[in-house]
Amino acid sequence: MNKVVDWKLAVNAAKTLMPAGPKIVKKDAARIVEELRIAAGEGLREAERISKLTSTAPSQTLVVDRAGWAKAVSQNFEAMLPADVNVPALVPAVTGAELGAVLSVLGTRVLGQFDPFVGPRLLLNAPTITQIRGELNLNARDFYLWIATHEQTHRLQFEYAPWIPEVMKSTIAEAFGPLENEGSMNQLGERLKSMKSEVSELTSIMSVLEGHAMVVMNDVTTIGSIKTIRRRFEARGENRSALATLLGKLLGLDAKALQYKRGAKFVRHVVNEIGYEGFNQVFSSRELFPTGEELDHPERWLARTQ
């Protein structure tokens, strides 16, 4: 038995291929790290205030450089995927190199991520946050709080719906199940074709999670320059989470910006109708989460659940 991915190779490849980020003097770097830590705390309070969810579980905040980000995210992925799968000997090296290349690209784009599988912990990618803030000429305090609120909303989601990470892990485990018997990665694609309902459910879950976090972050009234941030950030392109990207790669999920906007549209409609307190029932059980059809027709979800 062996692992699907050579994780050490993946991390080393990411570190080799990924640029370090903007050059910052030591004094400024220490200040940015401290400001991001402060933003993480403020972001949790804003996420709680707006979403009407409250965190009671402990969580770490890691402000990391890009090499540290690649290592931490690979640990998250490793905890999510099956530990041992019977695959051909060359597969781990190939997938490790491929994942390393993916991480090297994501590390220059992804600003933060909440990791429910290891920790749990909040990851803030300091060099990429600094680089994008500079490129878009944004107010640092406002931008940091905007990002932190989004990621801390994910913290609340996973805390209130511990069944969601389990669905992610079980769906991936089921997809990789045939490899135990067949020993061929080609079986994965065939298996996914027979898992339409599972893949559809996971697509809906990721859409709602990202859409909810987008709606909450854009409702932070204490961010004075929020309209400027939204306009410039949207012009740059949507921030895709590393978790959503990996799931998209493994399971063929649509992790594009359109999918996030689809989720945000659903959340905004429901919140406008019954408030955040009413919306929060989606986290209480798997059965109350919207189906793919309800995601595009929130009035049907309201009719079913109210």
How many C-beta neighbours within 10 Å does residue 78 have? 17
Residues 6+ apart with CB under 8 A from 67: 14, 15, 18, 20
pLDDT in tens, 215-229: 999 999 999 999 999
Higher pLDDT, 297 or 177: 297
CB 147 within 8 A of CB 124: yes
Q: What are phi and psi of 64, to 5 degrees?
A: -125, 160
CA angle 102, 196, 246 (to 5 degrees): 15
> Which 8-state DSSP code applies to residue 115?
E
| pLDDT at residue 1, rounded to an integer | 46
CA dist 106 and 242 (Å) reads: 7
pLDDT in tens, 6-23: 889 999 999 999 998 898
pLDDT, mean over the chain = 86
| Residue 240 scores a pLDDT above 80 | no
| Residue 260 scores a pLDDT above 80 | no
| pLDDT at residue 80, rounded to an integer | 83
* Region 197-217 average pLDDT: 88
| pLDDT at residue 234, rounded to an integer | 83
| Residue 154 scores a pLDDT above 80 | yes
* Region 242-258 average pLDDT: 58
| pLDDT at residue 186, rounded to an integer | 52
| Residue 182 scores a pLDDT above 60 | no
Q: What is the DSSP string of 47-101?
A: HHHHH-----S--EEEEE-HHHHHHHHHHHHHHHS-S-B---TTHHHHHHHHHHH
* Region 219-242 average pLDDT: 84
pTM of the model: 0.89
| pLDDT at residue 184, rounded to an integer | 47
Residues 6+ apart with CB under 8 A from 246: 77, 80, 99, 102
* Region 65-69 average pLDDT: 94
| Residue 33 scores a pLDDT above 50 | yes
| pLDDT at residue 191, rounded to an integer | 64
| Residue 251 scores a pLDDT above 70 | no
Sheet containing 121-125: order of strands = 60-64, 121-125, 112-115
> Which 8-state DSSP code applies to residue 286?
G
* Region 246-275 average pLDDT: 77
**Per-residue three-class SS string for 206-244:** HHHHHHHHHHHHCCCCCCCCHHHHHHHHHHHCCCCCHHH
CA dist 7 and 255 (Å) reads: 23
* Region 17-33 average pLDDT: 92
Residues 6+ apart with CB under 8 A from 229: 136, 138, 139, 142, 143, 146, 223
pLDDT in tens, 77-122: 888 877 766 667 777 888 788 888 888 888 888 899 999 999 899 9
How many C-beta neighbours within 10 Å does residue 57 have? 10
| pLDDT at residue 249, rounded to an integer | 59
Residues 6+ apart with CB under 8 A from 148: 36, 39, 40, 42, 43, 44, 112, 122, 124
| Residue 256 scores a pLDDT above 60 | no
> Which 8-state DSSP code applies to residue 201?
H
| Residue 276 scores a pLDDT above 50 | yes
Q: What are phi and psi of 250, to 5 degrees?
A: -75, -40
* Region 140-150 average pLDDT: 97
